[in-house]
Amino acid sequence: MYNVYQLFLMNGKKIPFDIKRSTWGNFSITVDKVENIKFSAGAWYCDAFTLSENYEDLGYGKVGKYKKIGCSGCYQWLFTDNKKEYNERLLPQAKQKHDRGLTYQKAGKSYKCFYCSREIHKGEQYERYSMRRAGKNNMPINEVFCLGHRDEMREKIFQKPLHEIKYIELLEKWDKEIIV
């Protein structure tokens, strides 16, 4: 079973298409609108809407004449047409854990690498990490690095290769308010 966004992709991003929830038996609805596509908790989601008169508005909201389909992010949806192909190659790959700190410079922002002070230009990839906490609310402070420079900084502070640095050593430095 799939969520509505996955079915939308497997349908070639063509609207409208008919779906049913695994718990609904023969009852089906038509997806007439898809918007607000987002990546969250390791998967892609969207808001789906229908014009179907037989779909009861259960308080999920409306956008103009469209009724929002509730639970569209749940993995309980199937195509109504049994002949449709479920081509999972059309689905986007989940983001990898090692990509977590990486992002791209956007227009109108000015960043400098915390380690080397080089300016990071529009379209350039960089790393952003919570490096310390500050203020009376102990809020996290994010620092920006050129690719690989956070690891270089750690190697310089500890004077040994990155793979030999133990997590407890990082915590001790952190407690002494040294940013690593």
**Which residue from 146, 153, 147 is spatially nearest to 178, judged by alpha carbons?**
153
Residue ranges, CATH 3.30.1740.10, the chain: 97-175
Straight-line distance from the first to the last Cα atom of the chain, in angstroms, rounded to the nearest whole number: 44
CATH 3.30.1740.10 fits 97-175, yes or no: yes
Q: What span, in angstroms and rounded, lies between the C-alpha atoms of 121 and 27?
A: 53
Enumerate residues 6+ apart whose C-beta is below 8 A from 46.
4, 5, 8, 34, 35, 36, 37, 38, 72, 73
Tell me the CB-side half-sphere exposure of residue 54, using CA atoms within 13 A. 8
pTM, rounded to two decimals: 0.51
Contact 111, 144 (CB under 8 A): yes
Q: What span, in angstroms and rounded, lies between the C-alpha atoms of 19 and 79?
A: 4
Contact 32, 51 (CB under 8 A): yes
pLDDT in tens, 83-140: 777 877 777 765 544 444 566 666 667 788 888 888 887 777 777 776 666 656 666 6
pLDDT in tens, 141-178: 677 888 788 888 888 888 888 778 877 787 777 666 65
